[in-house]
Chains A and B, each alone.
Chain A
C-alpha cells in the first residue's frame, strides 16, 4: 500500500478538494459518536444527583494540563498548515512532529491520571459515572493515538515536499480531537 499517490487527490467535483470533503464527512460521523456520549452523560447526570459527587473526585489540574497541551499542539499543527501552504515542507514536518510530541504528553498525563484514580478505587466498574468517564476518555485517547499516527505518516511525506495538501487534513482532524476535549473537560472535571 502506497501513501505517495492517490487517484482522487487532485479532483474537486464539488468545489472542495475531495480529501477535505472526506475529512469533513468523517468528522460529521465523529460528531454523532462523541455527541452520543455527551448526550448519554447528560441524561444520566440529570437523573443521578450523586454523579456530581463522583465528578468532584476527578483531578482538575491534570484535566487542565491536558487542555493546555492539546490546545498548544493545535497551534503547532495550524502553523504546520501555514508552512505547508507556503511550500515549506520541512518546517511543516518539524511542526507536525512537535504536534505528535504534544500527543505523547497528553497520553502520559492521562496515564498518570488513570493510575492515580485506579489506586484510589475509582475503577471502570466502581459505578456508572466512572464507567462513563473511562469510556469517554479512552475513546478520546484512541482518537489522539490515531491522529498521532496519521500526522507522523504525513510528516514523512511533507519533509520531502510531497502531498503537502494532506497537512491541512491532519490539522482539521487534530483540531477536532482538541475540540472534543474542550467539551469533555468541563463536563467531567469542572461541573460538579
Chain B
C-alpha cells in the first residue's frame, strides 16, 4: 500500500515521534491527573499511529465506513447500557447495596453535623432510616 516509496528513515521518525508522545503521557499524565486529558492524548497517539503505520491516511475512503460503523455500534452499546450502570434505580430494578451505602454515608454525615452544632447531643445516633430491600418485581 504505497509503502515502498517511504524509506526506513521515514518510519523511524514516526516511531521516535510516537515514543516521545507516549513518554510525555507517562511523565506529564500523573502531573495533569485529569482522566479526560490523558485519554484524549492516548487517542491522538492511536490515531496518529493508525494514519501512518497502518496507512489509513492513504487508504480508500470507504474503509472508514467500516470503522465508523463499528464505532456507531460501540456508542450504541455505551449509551444503551450507561443508564443501567450509572444509576442506582430504574423502572423495575434497584441496586440495594449502593442505595444502602449512600444512606449510611448520609446518616453518618448528619450525625457528625449534629455533634458539631450541639455538643450536648454528641453520641446520640440518629435513626438508621429504612434500608432498601431487594424485591421481586
Produce 1/0 per residue, B1-31, CB < 8 A to A.
Answer: 1011011100110010011001001100110
From B4, B71, B77, give the contact of A82 (CB < 8 A).
B4
Give the complex CA separation of A46 and B35 in angstroms: 10
Q: Look across to chain B and name the residue whose beta carbon is closest to the beta carbon of A61.
A: B26
Q: Which of B26, B45, B59, B71 has the most CB of A within 10 A?
A: B26
Q: Which of B18, B29, B42, B82 has the most CB of A within 10 A?
A: B42
A99: B residues at CB distance < 8 A: none
Are the C-beta atoms of B63 and A16 separated by less than 8 Å?
yes
A-B CB contacts (within 8 Å), total count: 126
CB of A98 within 8 Å of the partner chain:
no
Decide yes or no: A186 and B50 within 8 Å by CB, A28-B67, A32-B74 being known contacts: no
B12: A residues at CB distance < 8 A: 75
Chain B residues in contact with chain A, CB under 8 A? Answer: 1, 3-4, 6-8, 11-12, 15, 18-19, 22, 25-26, 29-30, 33, 35, 38-39, 41-43, 45-46, 49-50, 53-54, 59-60, 62-63, 66-67, 69-71, 73-74, 77-78, 81-82, 85-86
